[in-house]
Copies of this chain bind each other. A is one copy, B any other.
């Protein structure tokens, strides 16, 4: 085989997903197995090696064509040296993962954080394919992000580039404290957690809303469904989440001027109802030259963004 192939690893707290990509970001196939965190760091790393070798059996022409293995991990990483300093859901403490994995697999290994890797996956092989300047938002429990310029992931001085959820965007008088300790971060209003909090606050203070009758645990989907059905309280909550997303994109637009914003994560499943509101705010707050031709679109790869982006670390980081 003359074309190089790349393996991506999405290392999660319960499952490890591995995937094989070609050099243009197409995902050829995946394999998945349990993480088994209870067995410790070395067992987890051995599991990764085992699953990679199931995905691409050593000795085959495909194995020979694999140019590298990238791994996406949630945690605090020393990316240049390939060390996992700490991970909230994994049994790693100052583990030289890159070096250990290179010994176990016999291929070059790179590690990077999971949000960056997912953004890179969408930009390289998903909704940003062939678009050199993309900015990705992931709207889940928090708000994650990633910046891709000239087809490459931007990490910044300390790896904090693309930490869009912690942009101070809510004015002081309306701000609440974020999990990070700061006031007014984007993720206090535009994450699933933020939307649920605003809905619960409305119910608690007795606002007239159909959300009062949600019997199971409240989710962001309940809020979107109520808003789409005409509930004014729910509509205001969605407007607020959309407003600050659009405002943060307007700020991003005059910093790095991307061609495309890609929005993924659970909250993005609200679809065009949410996207239209984001676009309206973005249009109002962005200079014409930085918004003409700029699209705000949904992510395409879903749960596969992590493996695709991890595979892309060798070409795009």
Contact = CB atoms under 8 A, between A and B. Distances in A.
Contacts of A286: 168, 182
A110 interface: no
Given A158-B289, A160-B287, A168 B247 contact: yes
A180 interface: yes
**A: interface residue count bin:** 35 or more
Contact of A171 (B171, B288, B290): B171
Query: In the assembly, how many copies of this chain are there?
Result: 2
Nearest to A155: B257
Interface in A131-181: 133, 145, 147, 149, 154-164, 166-169, 171, 180-181
B182 A287 contact: yes
B255 A162 contact: yes
B293 A256 contact: no
B258 A157 contact: yes
A50 interface: no
A304 interface: no
A259 B250 CA distance: 23
A252 interface: yes
B285 A182 contact: yes
A181 B284 CA distance: 10
A289 B257 contact: no
Contacts of A284: 182
Given A182-B287, A287-B166, A287-B182, A160 B257 contact: yes
A121 B277 CA distance: 40
Contacts of A145: 254
Interface string A226-270: 000000000000000000000110111111111100000000000
Interface of A: 133, 145, 147, 149, 154-164, 166-169, 171, 180-182, 184, 247-248, 250-259, 284-290, 292-294
The 3 tightest CB contacts between A and B, nearest first, are A156-B257, A160-B290, A157-B259
